[in-house]
Amino acid sequence: QLLMSASDLYQQGDFVQAQVLAERALKADPRSGDAHTVLGAVADARGDGRVAGVHYAKATQIAPATGIYANNYGQWLCANGRAAESLAWFDIAVADPAYPTRGIALANAGSCAQQAGQPDRAEASWRQALALDSGNVPALSGMASLQFARGRYLDARAFTERWLAIAPADAQGLGLAVQVEQKLGANAAASR
C-alpha cells in the first residue's frame, strides 16, 4: 500500500511525499527492490543522479534477475557515461520472462549500444524490439538514423515513414525525413 501510494505521488510530481512513503516502505522491508526503484526515480527527477544510481543498483542486488530493476539500472548506467556496461543489464531485463515491456529494454539496449560504438548490436536490439512491437518509436527512430548513417537511404525512408506514421509531429523524425529525401534526390518530397 505504501509503495503504491509512493508511486502514485511520484507520478503526480509530489516527490517529497513519494520519498517519505518509499523510505517508510523501505524501513518496513529493507529488501524491497520496489522501494529502491521509487527512491531512485525520485532522486533522478530531482537531478541527483548519484543517489538514483545507488538505489537502482541496490534493487538489482536484491533481485538480480528482475527485468524492471535491470532495465532501470541499465538506463541509469547509459545516461551516466557507462553505455557499454549497461548492455549486460538490458540482457538481464530481456531474459526475464515476467518482464512485460521487453521491447522497451531492447530499444534502450539499441540506443546504448549505439552510444557504446556497437552499431551492429544496436541494430540487432532494435530489430528484436520491432519484432515484439512494430510501433516501438525509439527502435524505429534508431533504425532510421542508423540506416541513414550507413547510406541506406531507402531503408532509412521506410523506417522514417513508419516512425512518422505513429508520431507525425516528431521534429527529429521530420528532420531526418527531409535529409533522407534530399539524399534520394526527391526534393519535392523533402520540401513537403
pLDDT at 191 over 60: no
Average pLDDT in the 120-135 region?
A: 97
Fill in the DSSP letter of residue 63.
Answer: S
Question: What is the per-residue DSSP string for 93-144?
Answer: HHH-TT-TTHHHHHHHHHHHHHHTT-HHHHHHHHHHHHHH-TT-HHHHHHHH
Distance CA 8, CA 91 (A): 29
Q: Is the pLDDT of residue 190 over 60?
A: no
Given this model, what pLDDT does residue 1 score? 85
Task: Give the pLDDT confidence of 148-170 residue by residue, as tens digits.
Answer: 999 999 999 999 999 999 999 99
Half-sphere exposure of 31 (CA within 13 A, CB side): 3
Closest residue by Cα to residue 21 from 7, 40, 33, 32: 7
The reported pLDDT for the residue numbered 186 is 79
Q: CA quadruple 130, 136, 37, 50: dihedral positive or negative?
A: positive
Q: Is the pLDDT of residue 188 over 90?
A: no
Rounded distance between C-alpha atoms, residue 146 and residue 58, angstroms:
34
Q: Is the pLDDT assigned to residue 142 strictly greater than 80?
A: yes
- Helices 153-166 & 171-183, crossing angle to 10 degrees? 150
Distance between CA atoms of 115 and 18, rounded to whole angstroms?
32
- Predicted confidence at residue 86, as pLDDT, reads 98
Q: In this structure, how many other beta carbons lie within 10 angstroms of the beta carbon of residue 81?
A: 10
pLDDT digits (tens, 9 = 90+) for 40-60: 999 999 999 999 999 999 999
